Amino acid sequence: MICSEKILGVGSPIVDFLVNVEEQFLADIEAEKGGMVLLDSDGMEDLLAKVPGRAVLAPGGSAGNTIFALAKLHNPTAFLGKIGDDSAGDFFRNKLIDLGGGIESFRVIEGATTGRCLSMVTPDSERTMRTDLGIASSLSADDISAADFAGVDHVHVEGYLLFIDGVIEKVLATASECGCTISIDLATFEIVRLKRDLLTQLLKDYVDIVFANEDEAAAFAGTEDPAEQAAALAKLCSIVAVKLGSEGCYLQNEFETCIVEGQKVDVVDTTAAGDLWAAGFLHGWLNGCSLKKCGEFGTITASEVIKVMGSQISEENWEIINKKLKI
């Protein structure tokens, strides 16, 4: 069965630079492990010059990873965001075209630089990110219109947009007015700490599904207990997924709560794990699956991506995933 619901991802199109580093490297650059900090272009160039080894390139960004995975699962997809007319922008856009995704909502800016993210992977497979949004950071509320949501059934938004004043409010309000259902990934605990009041209002007013890992949920709810975290978020929107890494996930909707166990695999890199988990969950939800089945689908997709560097699952393994996620 192929989903007929069209999904629009909204966020910052990013090309990932993936590199292995030692714990000491993070200490040397005074980076809090597991977090994400924005840099300007000069800061990114300085950091890239310090990074040891050669980086692997891949299309990325939080919403981008989710949309690319949903396309791999044969869902109709499109993306809204700004890229430059450079090689990185062409790389990102052409990858989506290859998967049958819609590119009509890309804003391609002449002479601009496409966003980059340095993902530093330590020996414990945790990733710490530094991001130069490039032209993506210039996305504004004026760039968003109802035309972007024509024919769209579901909108998936990355929490990183909370860093750009006024954009996420316009996106969610317009999507809601156009009759779309909406999901948001909270992205990182720094965002929750900085934007908790705004986030609370947006969840209450517009969001149907919220995805949070244990750190993000703890920052929001002020507790380490997953059940209490989910309950706090469930007061604001109808479906809550608290992702617990290898321990699985805690799910809650208006009618039930359930726990889905994680899968034990050999971890290479946790980059995009949460994004791919969201893709699996949304694939199930858009196809009418139960809450538990959606969580199981998320666990399957996440467990596959952490076996590889970045989000680049092989075509052979995507075939296996599609068989496992057959509706």
Q: Whose structure tokens read 């040397």?
A: 28
Q: Could you give the percent of the chain with pLDDT greater than 90?
A: 71
Average pLDDT, the chain: 91
Other residues' Cβ atoms within 10 Å of the Cβ of residue 288: 12
> Please, are residues 130 and 157 in contact by the beta-carbon 8 Å criterion?
no
Does residue 4 surpass a pLDDT of 80?
no
Q: Which tokens sit at 64?
A: 């981008």
Length of the chain: 327
Domain 7-324 falls under CATH 3.40.1190.20: yes
**Per-residue confidence (pLDDT) for residue 2, from 0 to 100:** 54
Classified as helix, coil or strand, 74 is coil
Q: Which tokens sit at 285?
A: 């939800």
**Per-residue confidence (pLDDT) for residue 68, from 0 to 100:** 95
> Please, are residues 306 and 270 in contact by the beta-carbon 8 Å criterion?
yes
pTM as predicted: 0.88
58 — pLDDT class (breaks 50, 70, 90) = confident
Q: Which of 16-25, 28-37, 303-312 has the lowest mean pLDDT?
A: 303-312
171 — pLDDT class (breaks 50, 70, 90) = very high
Element (H, E) at 204: helix 189-205
266 vs 288, more confident: 288
Does residue 3 surpass a pLDDT of 60?
no
Highest mean pLDDT among 4-8, 77-81, 160-164: 77-81
Q: State the Cα–Cα distance between residues 279 and 7, nearest whole angstrom.
A: 11
**Per-residue confidence (pLDDT) for residue 1, from 0 to 100:** 47
Q: Per residue in 129-148, pLDDT tens? A: 898 989 999 999 999 999 99
Does residue 18 surpass a pLDDT of 80?
yes
What is the mean pLDDT of the segment spanning 177-201?
95
152 — pLDDT class (breaks 50, 70, 90) = very high
Q: State the Cα–Cα distance between residues 78 and 152, nearest whole angstrom.
A: 9
- Give 250's contacts (C-beta < 8 A, 6+ positions apart): 226, 227, 229, 230, 241, 242, 244, 257, 258, 259
54 — pLDDT class (breaks 50, 70, 90) = confident
Q: Per residue in 227-263, pLDDT tens? A: 999 999 999 999 999 999 888 899 999 999 999 988 7
Answer positive or negative: Cα dihedral of 248, 312, 104, 77.
negative
**Per-residue confidence (pLDDT) for residue 30, from 0 to 100:** 92
Answer positive or negative: Cα dihedral of 89, 96, 289, 261.
negative
34 — pLDDT class (breaks 50, 70, 90) = confident
**Per-residue confidence (pLDDT) for residue 57, from 0 to 100:** 81
Other residues' Cβ atoms within 10 Å of the Cβ of residue 306: 21
